[in-house]
């Protein structure tokens, strides 16, 4: 479905149109379920989260028209945000942190086949200009929901060092993205 089509569905959902809600669910739920699975890494939690997310979408749809963003990005942001809340609310135990250190890092070079739009290329071009470990920290945070603690454990650096790393990485990214 085109972005315009999805925008129109969201607008109609904000008017409490249940047919539009059904159509929006059919055309976007696979993407949002993918987000939940990736971030939560747990199928049961992902299924619960997906339900919460569509309840939120139904209730928040009237705010979409005000947001200046593409419809699918808006939906993904709602899903990511919800999943990250769930992750952060989990009690961090030392075993989680040990585990985090052992999880494979996301590769620095994502599959090119999945990157089509030029907007996507720009963020990856700019990530490519960062040191590889730092680029993977940024991607790990965005795609896997890693917290500062997770990142510090995985990269075996103190928390404050990780903050400084990320801060510098974001500054470089910003310069590149806005160049």
Partner 1 sequence: MSATPTDSTPPDDDFIAAEYVLGVLALDEKQSVERRIATDVSFARLVARWQQQFDGMNAEFDPVTPPSHMKALIDKRLFGTVSQQSAPFFGNLAFWRAVAFAALVLAAIGFGRDFLNNSSAPDRQLIASMDASGSAYRTVAVYNQDRKQLKVSLLAGELPADRSLELWLIAGTDAPVSLGLIKSAQLTEFPLDRSLAGKLQEGTTLAITLEPLGGSPNKTATGAIVAAGTVREI
Residues 2-41 touching partner 1, rule: CB under 8 A, are 4, 8, 11-12, 14-20, 22, 25, 29-31, 33-35, 37-38
Size of residue set near partner 1 by CB under 8 A: 75
Q: How many CB atoms lie within 10 A of CB 158?
A: 9
User: Binders of partner 1 among 39-98, rule CB under 8 A?
Assistant: 47, 50-51, 54-55, 58, 62, 65-70, 72-73, 76-77, 80-81, 84-85, 88-89
Instruction: Candidates 42, 99, 128, 167: give the one binding partner 1 (CB under 8 A).
Output: 167
Q: Does residue 115 belong to the site contacting partner 1 (CB under 8 A)?
A: yes
- Token digits of residue 59: 């209730």
Longest CA pairwise span in the chain (Å): 51
Q: Does residue 165 belong to the site contacting partner 1 (CB under 8 A)?
A: no
Q: Does residue 145 belong to the site contacting partner 1 (CB under 8 A)?
A: yes
86, 40 in Cβ contact below 8 A?
yes
Residue 102: strand, helix, or coil: helix
Closer residue to partner 1 in complex, CB, 42/121: 121
- Token digits of residue 60: 């928040």
Please state, in angstroms and rounded to a whole number, the distance separating the CA atoms of residues 70 and 83. 20
26, 9 in Cβ contact below 8 A?
no
Q: Does residue 124 belong to the site contacting partner 1 (CB under 8 A)?
A: yes
């Amino acid at each position: 479905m085109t972005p315009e089509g999805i925008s129109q569905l969201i607008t109609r959902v904000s008017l409490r149109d249940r047919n539009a809600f059904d159509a929006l669910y059919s055309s976007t739920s696979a993407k949002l379920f993918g987000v939940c699975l990736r971030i939560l890494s747990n199928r049961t939690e992902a299924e619960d989260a997906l339900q919460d997310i569509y309840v939120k979408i139904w209730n928040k749809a009237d705010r979409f028209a005000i947001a200046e963003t593409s419809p699918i990005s808006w939906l993904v942001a709602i899903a990511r945000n919800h999943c990250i809340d769930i992750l952060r609310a989990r009690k961090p135990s030392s075993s989680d942190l040990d585990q985090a250190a052992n999880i494979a890092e996301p590769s620095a070079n994502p599959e090119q086949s999945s990157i089509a739009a030029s907007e996507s290329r720009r963020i990856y071009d700019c990530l490519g200009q960062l040191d590889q470990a730092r680029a993977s920290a940024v991607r790990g945070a965005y795609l896997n929901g890693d917290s500062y603690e997770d990142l510090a454990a995985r990269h075996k650096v103190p928390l404050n060092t990780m903050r400084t790393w990320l801060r510098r990485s974001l500054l470089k990214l910003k310069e590149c993205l806005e160049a």
